[in-house]
Amino acid sequence: MRSGNQPHILNASSNLLGICFVIVTGLKLTGVSEKTWADEISLLSAVSFVCSCVLSYVSLRTEKYAARYEVAADYLFLTGLFALFVAVLAFARDIF
């Protein structure tokens, strides 16, 4: 039984992956990356979003274990979303 969330997860995680790349690139170009952990946390978030994209795509393309792939993609998406939030906080408040 499929819930049909795979295209939504794939679309959202690919868009947020682009945002992670913009954050990392912007921090590297401005030289702020040495002062904060925001770029490292954004890279962790990017890895979570890439894995979420792959699992969501596999869930769309296969029938066997599609629900498992979708659940894993969902959890990885939420992990990446939380990590991206922490990265933005780290950059905005110089917490880390």
As given in the structure block, the two tokens for residue 84 are 């991206």
Q: In this structure, is residue 1 part of a structural domain?
A: no
How many separate domains does the chain show? 1
Mean predicted lDDT score pLDDT of the chain: 90
pTM of the predicted model as reported, rounded to 2 decimal places: 0.88
Reported as a pLDDT band with limits 50, 70 and 90, residue 1 is very low
DSSP assignment of 32-76, as one string? GGGT-SHHHHHHHHHHHHHHHHHHHHHHHH-STTHHHHHHHHHHH
The backbone torsions φ and ψ at residue 49, rounded to the nearest 5 degrees and listed phi first, read: -70, -35
Tens-place pLDDT, residues 11-53 = 999 999 999 999 999 999 998 888 889 999 999 999 999 999 9
Tens-place pLDDT, residues 60-87 = 999 889 999 999 999 999 999 999 999 9
As given in the structure block, the two tokens for residue 24 are 């990392």
The residue count for the chain: 96
- The domain in which residue 83 lies consists of 6-93
